[in-house]
A and B are shown apart, each in its own frame.
Chain A
């Protein structure tokens, strides 16, 4: 009689094999999670600094010699700021020292003062205490990114500059705050002024173009291939080529965009229009493959039911099959869009790597995109761009997470039992 209680050696080894496999699986998940934590953690750690900024208060003389009450916009604001800095630290008399002194505030200080004066006409004729954006070196010194203890010759800031900064801090003339301008400014050569908005808008416009082109074309191609095209050698060749297209390196699409869209058709260089079209070449195969897979997953009984009632093939497809495949199609589309959002190489080829300060207003204006902005900042020499790079990555990751959440929400909403 068989004994169900005492385990045989064969059973034991089978059991331990099962256990071993479970631990392998857990190990694999742990390793991938650990990588993710390290990556996201280091980005968050490095990038968090970019979301705060440093402002410094300086008393400026807006007396009648400096600002004409009748024509305040004609005043030489940059000179007023410099004079105010000289008055604050009169010991800086040499040319070189003064240059360092002026470097405490951002290059933009003159414009900041102009905006302040135009917004507060009451201040004209007085000694006003105005907040200016501190320079990037000042900012990262306070954030602790720069080590004060290394030898002076190896620092960007001299002991003298650090002394001024410490005095400003001691006098309560320095404040830290949330860096709103990071989200409202375009790119800049000055790290303290550089913002993500132009890249964000550029990415959004590019994705819009990409979606408007690749979604309808991809879906129509998928529906035709899956539901209507005769199955023969020709459709096999098309299928193989679509799969191949999905594996083509993206830079090749960039070169195609450069030679076809820019050089042959003369479309505007660096524009989201061209960027979107090039990216849609990349997303098309993804969308077609995903849409075909989800169309194929619709049970044939639904098709038979519709056709058996005398629905035409087009009616059967659009009334019954396509709506059931929609969640899968949308998921595939969003995955494709997310790929497109993170794509850099083809955009480099069509000139979207340009230094764009202004926020693009239309798909025909020069623009850049988030991943390209990351590439540009990662390449910048200023130390403070390091945290901007990480901050841009955070914004990109957040956009990706938003898109993936959208995919889940859409799938939940359209999913039907059958």
Chain B
């Protein structure tokens, strides 16, 4: 267990009603690195991702056991404020979901509700910084007042990333952020992810092994609700220990 781990999961079990979706997951996620979660559909990687910012709480029948700590704090402790947690652990979803408001308002919404900007100038700076970080500033700086839903799919997803990082979270969770995008938009987002890791810890769920190999430093392979293997991306892709990992990477299962 490395000392630089920012997120650490211990014996995490997740149940949907009677069905167990995750079985005794132990995983450390290092700071300022990209960790990718891979595995076949239904293996529990998204479930694990969503337990890191407690989005699973929204599902009535979902139950989480074990502990997940972020910087040593148990996020499932009763005194934890979910709203504050989600401000520190941002999330980018599979399908771009900008609010049906202007580009500016999309980015400014988070800082506004969390009181991060003291003045209009502050807010303008946050919006500009976030859009620059998300690589979208050049494309939209002249039309900040136009609806975010009018952008192309790739731009929308970058807007969602800008919106997430505008709150200055410590961790950014990404749930298959490129699955609805074409290869060019995907390449832009992947580049962006690489740049963002200097400021944020990133956990990304992906179906594309190439993507995992390209963007991440660490990889965890999930299979049927179990964490089969985790380690540096290079090791996982070149010399996996477990046969199942090998089969998945070779394209034999999944």
Contact = CB atoms under 8 A, between A and B. Distances in A.
A303 B59 CA distance: 13
A18 to B, nearest CB: 37
Given A231-B60, A417-B149, A418-B149, A309 B100 contact: no
A304 B93 contact: yes
Contacts of B110: 309-311
A394 to B, nearest CB: 41
Contacts of B53: 308
Contacts of B87: 309-310
B84 A307 contact: no
Given A304-B55, A320-B99, A417-B149, A309 B164 contact: yes
A308 B161 CA distance: 12
Nearest to B164: A309
A349 B10 CA distance: 68
Nearest to B110: A309
Given A301-B95, A320-B99, A417-B100, A308 B149 contact: no
A206 to B, nearest CB: 37
Contact of A305 (B58, B84, B88, B99): B99
Interface in B130-180: 147, 149, 160, 163-164, 167
Interface in A228-259: 230-231
A282 to B, nearest CB: 33
Contact of B99 (A230, A302, A307, A310): A302
A301 B93 contact: yes
Interface in B106-144: 109-110, 113-114
A306 B99 CA distance: 8
B149 A310 contact: no
Contacts of A279: none
A315 interface: yes
A324 interface: yes
A310 B60 contact: no
Contacts, number: 70
B91 interface: yes
A312 interface: yes
Contact of A310 (B58, B84, B95, B97): B84
Contacts of A416: 100, 147
A324 B99 CA distance: 10
Contacts of B60: 230-231
A321 B88 CA distance: 23
B253 interface: no
A309 B58 contact: no
Interface residues of A, number: 22
Given A304-B55, A319-B109, A417-B149, A309 B163 contact: yes
Contacts of B114: 310
B97 A301 contact: yes
Contacts of B160: 305
Nearest to B58: A307
Nearest to B54: A307
Contacts of A315: 113
A249 to B, nearest CB: 36
B80 interface: no
A307 B86 contact: yes
Interface in A193-228: none
B109 A309 contact: yes
A175 to B, nearest CB: 60
Interface in A270-311: 299, 301-311
B90 interface: yes
Contacts of A303: 58
A417 B99 CA distance: 10
A370 to B, nearest CB: 39
A303 to B, nearest CB: 8
A169 B171 CA distance: 93
Contacts of A417: 100, 147, 149
Interface in B77-104: 83-88, 90-91, 93, 95, 97-100
B95 A308 contact: no
B100 A308 contact: no
A309 B55 contact: no
A393 B184 CA distance: 64
A311 B83 contact: yes
Most buried by B among A309, A320, A324: A309
Contacts of B97: 299, 301-302, 304-305
Q: Which of B91, B97, B109 has the most CB of A within 10 A?
A: B97
B161 to A, nearest CB: 12
A306 B149 CA distance: 15
Nearest to B84: A310
Given A301-B97, A416-B100, A417-B149, A310 B167 contact: yes
A295 to B, nearest CB: 15
B83 A305 contact: no
A319 B84 CA distance: 18
Interface string A374-402: 00000000000000000000000000000
A308 B177 CA distance: 14
Contact of B113 (A230, A302, A311, A324): A311
Nearest to A323: B100
A418 B60 CA distance: 26
Interface string A399-418: 00000000000000000111
Nearest to B99: A320
A319 B112 CA distance: 12
7 contacts: A306-B99, A306-B109, A309-B109, A309-B113, A311-B83, A311-B110, A418-B149
Interface of A: 230-231, 299, 301-312, 315, 319-320, 324, 416-418
Given A299-B97, A308-B90, A309-B86, 7 more contacts: A231-B60, A302-B100, A305-B98, A305-B163, A310-B90, A310-B114, A311-B113
Interface of B: 53, 55, 58, 60, 83-88, 90-91, 93, 95, 97-100, 109-110, 113-114, 147, 149, 160, 163-164, 167
